[in-house]
Structure formats: structure tokens, C-alpha cells
Amino acid sequence: MKAGGLDKILGRLEDLDTVNLNILVQRLARERNLQESVFNTIQDGIIVIDSEGLIQYANQAACPLIGLKPNDIGTIQLWKMVPDLARSVSENEEYENSAKQAVISREIQINYPEKRIVRMYMVPIDAPVSSDTTGGYVVVLSDITEAQINLEETIENERSDSVVRLAAGVAHELGNPLNSLTIHLQLIQRKLQDALKANNKEAIAESVEICQGEVKRLDDIINNFLEAVRPVEPELNELNLIALIEEVLRVQEAELSDRNIEVKIEVEGEVPNILGDRGQIKQVFFNLIKNGMEAMAGKGQLKILARADEEQIYLQFADNGSGISKEDIAKIFDAYYSTKTEGHGLGMMIVQRIMRHHGGHIAVESQIDVGTVITLQFPQQHIRTRMLKSSE
């Protein structure tokens, strides 16, 4: 029976005789059975409650999910069956003020009859115009326990894989200097024995110096590794980015001169100060300038452009070096990935981490045999302050 036809019949119930009333009841029963069959094929739990939370209907999927028995329907409140759901909903102003009639959507944990994670939707039902009631709600419960477990397992596996890759990289990096140390220590032992017979102090001093250099290299590798896997929260102070770049360039002046690299700084308009960690931002500049130097063999030009808009400050480091292939650009932020034989492959990963901790971004554009442009984007102080307040 179509809904329109049923409405017409229900509108003139007083005119129906006993036979037609029986036919109507049979039709209503068939429609109810059809609707229940449809709802019972749905895997999500569907519950209908009145304005007081009394359960009026529940499909087959809902009953085992909340421990509901068939004879509980019509006699028990949903809040008594699922206290976790009650606490979740009672805190919601939209539910307390039925005039707002808002849809409630959230994830909750159900602890009885078994621990499950459920996504809940509560949709208000408008009460009939002729009714004295204030309506009710349709509650849809989707069991997402397995999906949540799978997501957590995926995240944990990715984290474990990352740690394994980092550990493998560290082991590889430490292997070479350790082997060198072992060889030279063995040489020292032999030379010391020979020194008792002949005065061979210079050879011994040379081996000791090599060992000291290798120990320092080990220390640098370990420090870079720790910076990558144990990031330190930035200590925010007001910083002048241009002054900080000039300070870094003074430290690297001799190496830039030896490599015949010219540095030009261009500032467009006023560049406001930022909130940042002085040491960490200096490390970013050191890494980027050093990468630019190493990309320019023998001679080149490094241009640093600074500009700002109403919300962001932009610094561009542009070199005319060897460039980076498209395949390598996608990997430069990966741990222990480096196109340089002497690189440890953590520099750009650390740069990206520092920029993220400062609420900023880094972008890389490059062409083989043309050069590379790295753009740093820092939020201005009022934006950074707003970000910090929102995170708190």
C-alpha cells in the first residue's frame, strides 16, 4: 500500500466497518513486518527513543551491541542500558535544549556487554502536530572497533618501521668509523711495541690523531641522530630573521670564499620579527646554506630573498648548482636519504621538523643543471600567538 493511500484511509477511520478495519490492520501489520525486515538487514544498530530516552524500537544489530533484550523495548531508557552514551549526550547543550534540535555525532566507548568503540549519530524526530509529546531521536550506532584497531596497528607498524630504518641507518653510519678506529688502535698497539725498540713517536701521534677525528665523527653522527628522533620543543623569542642570516653567513664566510660562491641578500619591503628558537632557526639556515654550497662545484651564486605579506614571512634560498631530480625531491625529507656521499641524510629531515614546530612550511623546487630554490614560510607573530593559544 502506498503511503498516500494509507493516509487517506487513516483520515477516515470512523467511516470504516469491521471488515475494512481488519483489512487495514492486516495491511499495517504487513508494512510493519516489511520495515522491520529492511531494518534488520542493516548492520548498524538503529534505536528509536522518545523525548525521555525510553526505547521504542531497536533493530537486530542494536540489541547485542548494547545488551538489549526484546522485552526491554518499551520499558527501559537507553541511558540505563548505556551509561557511557548518557554521559556523552547529557553534556551536549543541543540535546538538553530540544528547541535547537541539532544532530549529535561523536565516537564513544561502550563497556557492556563487551568493550566496543562506536560511532553514534542522534537525529531528532519532529513530534506530530496533534501530539502532546516533544518528539524523540533516532540513534544510529556503527561498530568501528575493528577499523580503529586496524588503524592503530597500522600507525604502530609504520612507527616501528621508521624506528627500524633509523636504527639501520645509524648502525651503517657508525660501522665505518668504528672499523677505522679498530684498525688504527691495532696499529697503535703494534707501533707502541715497535717504539720500545725504535723512536717512532711521529707515526704513533698520527694514528692517535686519526682516532680522535673518527671519535668526533661518531659524536656528530650520534648528535644528528638524536636531533632527528628526539626533537626538542622550540624556546620562542622574538627573532630578526635577516640579522640571523647575516650572523650565519659570517660564520660560513671563509668556506663560501674558498668555494668562490657569491651571496646576495634581497629584502622586499619590511620583514617583521618572528617568534622562534634562535638555535633551531640558525640550524635551519646553516643546513640550507651548506646544501647550496655543496651543490655548486667550484663557483656559483646563492641568492636569499626575504618578503612578507599580512600573515606570513617568506625566505627563499636559491642556488645555481647541480639541481635535484624529480625523483630525489620526493625523498629529500626521508631519514638517511642523501645524494651526497659524505652526507648523513638527516639535515633536511631536521629542517622540516624545526619548521613544523615553528608553525611554518618548507617547499622545494629544482631543475637538474639549473639550480634549486628552497622556500621557508614563517607565520607572523600575531598568527603564531593565535596558533599557540588554539593548541593550548
Lowest mean pLDDT, pick from 6-15, 142-151, 161-170? 6-15
Q: Are residues 198 and 249 in the same domain?
A: no
247 and 219 in a single domain? The answer is no
Is 1 or 286 the better-scoring residue by pLDDT?
Answer: 286
**Same structural domain for residues 223 and 306?**
no
82 or 168, which is more confident? 82
Task: Look at residue 225 and tell me if it is in a domain.
Answer: yes
Averaged over 187-205, what is the pLDDT?
A: 67
Q: Taking residues 120-146, report their average pLDDT.
A: 76
Q: What is the per-residue pLDDT for 94?
A: 43
292/328 same-domain check: yes
Encode burial over 89-126: b for 16+ CB neighbours within 10 A, e otherwise.
beeeeebeeeeeeeebeeebebeeeeebbbbbebebbe
Please report the pLDDT score of residue 107 as a whole number.
78
Span 23-48, average pLDDT: 83
Residue 338 has pLDDT above 70, yes or no: no
Residue 378, pLDDT score: 94
In terms of Cβ atoms closer than 10 Å to its own Cβ (0-12, 13-18, 19+), residue 1 is exposed
273 domain-assigned: yes
Per-residue pLDDT at 195: 65
- So what's the pLDDT on residue 306? 95
Please state, for a pLDDT cut of 90, what percent of the chain lies above it.
14
Tens digit of pLDDT for each residue in 226-240? Answer: 665 565 678 889 999
100-117 pLDDT tens trace: 456 777 777 777 777 888
- Domain membership of residue 356 (yes or no) is yes
Do 386 and 256 lie in a common domain? yes
Specify the CATH number for the domain of residue 320: 3.30.565.10
Does one domain contain both 257 and 349?
A: yes
| CA distance linking residue 241 with residue 273, whole number of Å | 7
Tell me what the mean pLDDT of segment 123-129 comes to.
Answer: 70
Q: Which of the given ranges, 36-50, 124-138, 229-243, 263-277, has the highest pLDDT on average?
A: 263-277
> Same domain, yes or no, for 222 and 271?
no
Mark whether 177 and 258 lie in a shared domain: no
Q: Band the pLDDT of 264: cuts 50, 70, 90.
A: very high
* Model pTM score: 0.48
pLDDT value of residue 101: 53
pLDDT value at residue 95 = 43
Check whether 182 has a pLDDT greater than 60.
yes
Map grid coordinates 577499523 to a residue.
147
Residue 331: the pLDDT is 76
Q: What is the pLDDT of residue 350?
A: 81
Question: What's the pLDDT score for residue 40?
Answer: 83
Structural domains of the chain, count: 3
Q: Which of 26-35, 58-67, 81-90 has the lowest mean pLDDT?
A: 81-90
What is the rounded distance in angstroms from the CA atom of residue 27 to the CA atom of residue 16? 14
Give the model's confidence band at 386: pLDDT under 50 very low, under 70 low, under 90 confident, else very high: low
Answer whether residue 46 shows pLDDT above 70.
yes
Handedness of CA 329, 331, 335, 341 (dihedral sign): negative
Same domain membership, residue 339 and residue 269:
yes
- What mean pLDDT comes out for the span 306-310? 91
Is the pLDDT at 187 greater than 70? The verdict is yes
Q: Are 139 and 82 in contact (CB under 8 A)?
A: no
333 against 287, higher pLDDT? 287
Domain that holds residue 218: 149-229
Taking residues 315-322, report their average pLDDT: 91
Cβ-proximal residues to 137 (8 Å cutoff; 6+ apart), any chain? 48, 49, 122, 123, 124, 125
In the Cβ-directed half-sphere of 33, how many Cα atoms lie within 13 Å? 6
If 0-12 CB within 10 Å is exposed, 13-18 middle and 19+ buried, where does residue 43 land? exposed
- Is the pLDDT score of 368 beyond 70? yes
Per the model's pLDDT, the better-predicted residue between 340 and 216 turns out to be: 216
Output the average pLDDT for the chain.
77
Whether 179 and 312 map to the same domain: the answer is no
Is the predicted pLDDT of residue 4 greater than 90, yes or no?
Answer: no
Confidence band for 305, pLDDT divided at 50, 70 and 90? very high
pLDDT at 200 over 70: no
